[in-house]
Structure 1
Amino acid sequence: MQSSVDGGFGRRNLRQRLSGANTFWIALVLLALIVVFTVLAPGQFATLFTFQTLLIETSVLLVLSVGMTFVIITAGIDLSVGSVLIFSGMVCGKTMEWLAGGNASSAGWGVIAVGLVAAVVSGTLWGLLNGFLIARAKIPPLIVTLGTMGAALGAAYLLNNGSDVRSVPIVLNKTLGYGTSFGGVPNLVIVAVVITLVGAWLLHTTKFGRYTFAVGSSAEAARRAGIGVTAHLLKVYLLTGFLAGVAGFLSLSYYASTTITAHTTDNLNAIAATVMGGTSLFGGIGTVLGTVIGVFIPAVLKKGFNITHVPDFWQMIAVGAVLIAAVWFDQRRRRARDSH
């Protein structure tokens, strides 16, 4: 009899934990969207090609959003990631052009490797600048990253006189951009999944992740507990810049161009995906899994609306409604927690 009671109590606790988890509810929203579009267009939406396309189109944004998850959990924000992505891609493209003598189309993996390093280093340096100004100079993250957003975009334009770099190694585009492996899984998706898994491991199982949650919950309490808050914030923004650099390289490999105009709203998309996935704008709460789900909600809406011939502006309205609902849910949960 006792074991039965304990078992029922355990099941109730599990149900309570699931029903109270923001990730659980946002996953239900994503599942509902998939079901609705499958019913509306069964022969078009629920296909292997559609889901492969969804995965490819969200890969770059997912890499950006993993970094954004760490930043927002610390109660910060980074408006510069989209511009840093563009700048890193531009540095990568120009570096490969220079090494290949003006035309990188036929360049090999040696040139590509140097281009990757250039992209990652340039992104990391912007992250270092953000981290220094926020953690050391104590300037609010919103102001710092708003400034570096414009500065990085302007620097990207200056590097190539305001135009895109379109000379990209063909082997890079074919192998990483459009290549597949492991039974047809796009290589771009594999890279994004690996980065996401590493990010999840870093956030949820390491001291770095615990410090990130502690700083976001209360920076002063974390400081009194012996955590170097300044140094940790510097590392978090450094990580975000690093991932923006990687995303710039991935974007270049997929589009075979820097595609500046395609990334001007990536910062807002990354913030929206992270918040929709349950990461609290007030800090201290968030999961990488939630961010993954948050990334796919706008992508599924866009794909579903395109297939069912619904005008694009309805997607903007729907994403805005889901984002507001996610923030409202977060505030409600926080007030309920503080009242106990």
Structure 2
Amino acid sequence: MPINLKPRLRSFLLSHEGVLALLLVAEIAVFSVIGRNFLTTKNAFEIVRLGTEIGLLALALTPVIVTGGIDLSVGSLMGLSAVLFGKLWRDAHFPIALAGAATLGVGTVAGLLNATLITRLRIPPLIVTLGSFSLFRGLAEGITAGTDNFTKFPDSFLFLGQEYLFGVVPAQLPIFAAVAVAFGLLLHRTGLGRGLYAIGFSSEGARHAGIPVERRLTLVYLLSGVVASVAAVLYVSHNGQAKADAGTGYELRAITAVVLGGTSIFGGRGAIHGTLIGLFAIVVLQQGLLLSDGPAELAGILVGILLILAIAVNQLITKLASRRGPKGGAT
């Protein structure tokens, strides 16, 4: 084992994820010096809490983008799910658990809607999810008349998003960790996951190889919808309110985390651990600037620069791989 450890470590450090991990370490080192109380257990868990909802979306979007697709509707679906959850609880007097289950049902239906239009009608994912992006947000605003705000949720529910287990661990962390492990196993430890990479590399080639492309795509968009609803429930618990603007802009932040983490926007390449590193590179940057009294606008500028660099690096890696491919095959 010790003999094989060095080559693996070297390979990781030279990979996109490895470079990003070093950047994350550098961020932590800098903000530990210039930020107030940055290097504390409390702040570390606060960073996890701040990244939970966007992180859930990013985890679900990773397999979607690996297939060469996109889902721009997840942020709007969060808004729709949040207000439906609030309305079912306050106006229909559903118990919290039943309102949560119904909200997951909404996410399932929304995911199936996107999947059906993409797989059955062969409409490009960008067009489909851009349409559902507007549809879901419009429905959320219609339900609330643009102003209604659901509040006064029970303390037992708010505990999930605002309190700590054992006085230290954010209560939503086990949910986030479970979803991360589930997507990691799905994408990296199953034949289904390998099929998703094949679809992203070449959907026609995947069909010729016997992979049920439509069913696989249906699954990833279905999961995207369900996880967006889970994120909505956690969002409501975290913020103590459910409004139509819940999740606004979250889809772009989640996609940024995925692409920054090394997943190719063109499909065929990506990893859950890369998405997690990309997510925390963004959240650490934002929290570090906050504790350092840096301007909030600077975080957006720096994240934008990181994203452009990440896409450029991805393109470079793709070109290098394509050049090496024929040589490897010839020898």
TM-score by length of 1: 0.90
Give 3-state SS (helix, strand or coil) of 1:114's partner. Answer: helix
Q: How does 1:111-190 map to 2 (within 5 A)?
A: 111-182=95-166, 184-190=168-174
Q: Give the 3 Å change call, closer, same or farther, for CA 20–223 of structure 1 in structure 2.
A: farther
Give 3-state SS (helix, strand or coil) of 2:211's partner. Answer: coil
- Aligned counterpart, 2:220: 236
- Once the two structures are TM-superposed, the CA of residue 143 in structure 1 deviates from its matched residue by 0.8
Aligned match of 1:81 in 74, 78, 81? 74
Q: Deviations over 1:280-310 (max 9, x none)?
A: 1111111111111111122111111111111
- Aligned counterpart, 1:59: 52
Q: Which moved more, 1:24-33 or 1:160-169?
A: 160-169
Give 3-state SS (helix, strand or coil) of 1:65's partner. Answer: helix
Gap regions ≥5 residues in structure 2: 325-331
Confirm or deny: 8 A CA contact 1:280 1:330 kept in the other structure: yes
- Aligned counterpart, 1:39: 33
Aligned match of 1:298 in 277, 282, 289? 282
Amino acid at match of 1:63: L
- Once the two structures are TM-superposed, the CA of residue 173 in structure 1 deviates from its matched residue by 3.7
Q: How far, CA to CA, are the matches of 1:135 and 1:330 in structure 2?
A: 27
Confirm or deny: 8 A CA contact 1:172 1:253 kept in the other structure: no
- Once the two structures are TM-superposed, the CA of residue 11 in structure 1 deviates from its matched residue by 6.2
- Once the two structures are TM-superposed, the CA of residue 172 in structure 1 deviates from its matched residue by 3.9
Q: CA RMSD in A?
A: 1.8
Q: How far, CA to CA, are the matches of 2:260 and 2:244 in structure 1?
A: 26
Say whether 1:69 aligns with 2:62. Answer: yes
Q: Give the 3 Å change call, closer, same or farther, for CA 45–11 of structure 1 in structure 2.
A: closer
- Once the two structures are TM-superposed, the CA of residue 8 in structure 1 deviates from its matched residue by 11
**What is the aligned-residue identity percentage?**
35
TM superposition outliers: structure 1 runs of 4+ over 6 Å:
none
Confirm or deny: 8 A CA contact 1:173 1:256 kept in the other structure: no
- Once the two structures are TM-superposed, the CA of residue 208 in structure 1 deviates from its matched residue by 2.1
Confirm or deny: 8 A CA contact 2:289 2:299 kept in the other structure: yes
Q: How far, CA to CA, are the matches of 1:291 and 1:165 in structure 2?
A: 33
Q: Give the 3 Å change call, closer, same or farther, for CA 184–44 of structure 1 in structure 2.
A: closer
Q: Deviations over 1:158-190 (max 9, x none)?
A: 112112432353234432122322452111122
Q: Give the 3 Å change call, closer, same or farther, for CA 260–296 of structure 1 in structure 2.
A: farther
Q: How far, CA to CA, are the matches of 2:118 and 2:247 in structure 1?
A: 24
Say whether 1:323 aligns with 2:307. Answer: yes
- Once the two structures are TM-superposed, the CA of residue 89 in structure 1 deviates from its matched residue by 1.1
Q: Give the 3 Å change call, closer, same or farther, for CA 316–12 of structure 1 in structure 2.
A: same
Give the total of aligned pairs. Answer: 324
- Once the two structures are TM-superposed, the CA of residue 151 in structure 1 deviates from its matched residue by 0.5
